[in-house]
Amino acid sequence: MSLKRTDVLLCCGSGCVSAGALKLKEKLLQEIVKRGLSDEINIIETGCMGPCDYGPVMMVYPEGVFYKKVALTDVEELVEEHFMKGRPIKRLMVQESEEVYPTKKEIPFYQLQEKVALKNCGLINPEKIEEYIATGGYEALGKVLTEMKPADVIQIIKDSGLRGRGGAGFPTAMKWKFVYDQKNDEKYVICNGDEGDPGAFMDRSLLEGDPHKILEGMMIAAYAVGAKKGFFYIRAEYPLAIKRIKIAIEQSKKYGFLGEAIFDSDFAFDAEVRTGAGAFVCGEETALIASLEGKRGHPVLKPPYPAISGLWNKPTLVNNVETLANLSAIIINGADWFSKMGTETSKGTKVFALTGDLNNTGLVEVPMGITLKDLIYKVGGGISEGKKFKAVQLGGPSGGCLMDEHLSVQIDYESLQQKGAMMGSGGVIVMDDSNCMVNVAKFFLEFSVEESCGKCTPCRVGLREMYLILDRITKGEGKPEDLDKLEKLGKTVKELSLCGLGQSAPNPVLSTIRYFRKEYEEHIFNKRCEAKVCPDLVHFLIDKDKCLGCGLCAQKCPAKCIIGSREEKYEIVQTDCVKCSTCVEVCPVNVIEKLSGQFDASPKQEFKKYADLYE
């Protein structure tokens, strides 16, 4: 690769690819060839840069100009103006209320971020081992193999305070020690890349954006515990991640980082990729091991823990992708450097996936201990469309919902647990006030019901019962005793389930009952859905005084339940309405309103309506 005057880093993470980054690359190359600039400009595919909402994004060096939402139609201007004449295009830069942010370090999204695991993501070409080595890659492995004993490696990780990033936050060094202590010639390391939590995509981005770092991390862990063989277990939904990690394994074999006598030491190691086939429960370590052995992914009772008896009944270390991504930096920079970041009990940084009703969705890495408020408003740019914050779901379907009074809570393992949420894998789903919390809880529970493997009764039957109750409530058939029943059932399922799925699946329901009890009660007692989401608890009304009588609503109504004429104006036959909102959308004068609560034609309500009118 020759040196060229301009490097264009084009984000080719899955987010940007889904927004058309590959077509953009093609067009850029065409344009560059057409203008004879092939010897001057480099187009480099990188991993995820973070702000997926801006996709496709790119950075142009040496200036470091950051462009967002680059469309195919922008390419000609971009090449002509910026690449040829050196005049960066302002309208493609990140702008927030008049302010223009030409480069990455000025953009508010990046301000509070501290990148350790994600350091190389978006900066290097993940399919080139040379670029990884150029950023100091495999140096940590070299140091470990040539200067340190396995026990020293475990000690440095212990001193750093690193805890598992997959969800539970178990101290990494302690897990390692268990495997290390087993006297067995055959041990295994598994990288858990079965990232199934809805709303979490850090593992995907790490595997796609910096696969060598994960491989290096796995080898450091393997050396520490005495394993000679490793498996990457990656979901089949992530084909690009699978491809990239396979390339990484091939390349490091060529360079001698995998195989016999690595760095001329006694350490030999080999790694393989295995894929899942669409089963959420396989993210649980014992289910994952069953799947790796070619079986249905059913979890088994612990103990014995995989550290004692795991894959093929041998001692097995299962570490999450993000955990492995932190290792090389800790080895190189030392335990003190790492433990200076974060809080007393939660050290280092954590990658979060910001999604939902936010201005800046995407992948961010911040020091532990940041408040929810800073994460949502400073990094995430606040709630989109100027709406109001209502709730945030942390930790996917196993986590809990928190509300506005919790915005000052520090993000660390213990603080979140205290409030009934959990760190989980780091998915942060932000919801604005147009969401109904009962409906949201039902939605998360539906996910867990579907993904329950069916092995143990509390999870299989208990979750289903909870779902049926919630479904009833959203349909306006809730009973006064339902809330107590839900809480009791939820606690039972949590206590008696075999694996983490059942033990945490009731959390969204329990936490929403805890913090949004009023909303549940509105549904049950008053048959009202304030957010106007639950179809059975809303109704539509046409303001006859303002109706033009055009009849468009009657024409478009799929249930044919709007009757009337130009003279008499139109009205809705409430009993036949399917609550599809079509009439509201088509009304040219906006006089059809969606109202909370079931339709009640009794005179009392009519009276109240007029009373409102004269207020």
Burial class (CB in 10 A: 0-12, 13-18, 19+), 610: exposed
User: In this structure, are strands 6-11 and 41-46 parallel, antiparallel, or unpaired?
Assistant: parallel
Least Å distance, CB 551 to other proteins, is 24
Of 136, 239, 259, 304, which one interacts with other proteins (CB under 8 A)? Answer: 239
Interaction mask 376-415, other proteins, x per CB under 8 A: -----------------x---x------------------
- Cα 3–9–13 angle (5° rounding)? 140
Residues touching other proteins: how many (CB under 8 A)? 56
Among 58, 271, 453, 553, binds other proteins (CB under 8 A): 453
Contact 58, 109 (CB under 8 A): no
Q: Interface with other proteins includes 467 (CB under 8 A)? A: no
| Cα dist from 532 to 329, 472, 597, whole Å | 49, 16, 8
Q: DSSP class of residue 257?
A: S
Contact 508, 515 (CB under 8 A): no
Residue 280 interacting with other proteins (CB under 8 A): yes
- Under the binding rule (CB under 8 A), the answer on residue 46 touching other proteins is no
- Does position 232 interact with other proteins (CB under 8 A)? The reply is no
Q: How far apart (Å, rounded) are the C-alpha atoms in residues 199 and 3? A: 40
Q: Cα separation of 467 and 336, whole Å?
A: 47
**Shortest spacing between CB 70 and other proteins, in angstroms:** 14
Write the interaction track for other proteins spanning residues 180-199; mark x where CB under 8 A is met and - where it is not: ---------------xxxxx
Residue written as token pair 């009640």 = 600
Q: Provide the CB-side half-sphere exposure for 42 (13 A, CA).
A: 16
178 interacts with other proteins by CB under 8 A: no
Task: State which of positions 513-552 bind other proteins (CB under 8 A).
Answer: none
When the beta carbons of 109 and 257 are compared against other proteins, the nearer one is 109
Q: Which of 176, 201, 232, 352 binds other proteins (CB under 8 A)?
A: 201
Identify the residue among 74, 127, 237, 471 touching other proteins (CB under 8 A): 237
Q: Which of 9, 46, 55, 210 binds other proteins (CB under 8 A)?
A: 55
Q: Provide the token pair at 152.
A: 């020293």
Torsion of CA 403, 406, 407, 410, to 10 degrees: -140
DSSP string for residues in 562-603: EEEETTTEEEE-GGG-----HHHHH-TT--EEEEES----SH
Q: State the angle between helix axes of 139-147 and 321-333 in degrees (0 to 180), rounded to the nearest 10.
A: 70
The binder of other proteins chosen from 24, 92, 249, 353 (CB under 8 A): 353
Among 79, 220, 324, 431, binds other proteins (CB under 8 A): 431
Q: Single out the segment in contact with other proteins by CB under 8 A; choices: 32-40, 425-433, 473-481, 569-577.
A: 425-433
242 token code pair: 């699978």
Q: Minimal CA–CA distance to 223: which of 163, 272, 156, 268?
A: 268
Check residue 238 for interaction with other proteins (CB under 8 A).
yes
Tell me the closest approach of the beta carbon of residue 548 to other proteins, in angstroms: 27
User: Using H for helix, E for strand and C for coil, what is the string for 555-572?
Assistant: HHCCCCCEEEECCCEEEE
**Which of 256, 278, 304, 549 touches other proteins (CB under 8 A)?**
278
Under the binding rule (CB under 8 A), the answer on residue 291 touching other proteins is yes
Structure-token pair, residue 81: 């103006």
21 or 140: CB nearest other proteins: 21
- As measured in angstroms, the least distance from the Cβ of 527 to other proteins is 23
| 131 contributes a contact to other proteins by CB under 8 A | no
Nearest CB to other proteins, comparing residues 177 and 244: 244
Kindly indicate which of the ranges 14-22, 105-113, 407-415, 534-542 contains the residues binding other proteins, using the contact rule CB under 8 A.
14-22
Binding stretches for other proteins (CB under 8 A): 14-15, 17-19, 51-53, 55, 195-201, 203-204, 236-239, 274-280, 291-297, 353-357, 361-363, 393, 397, 427, 429, 431, 435, 440, 443-444, 447, 451, 453
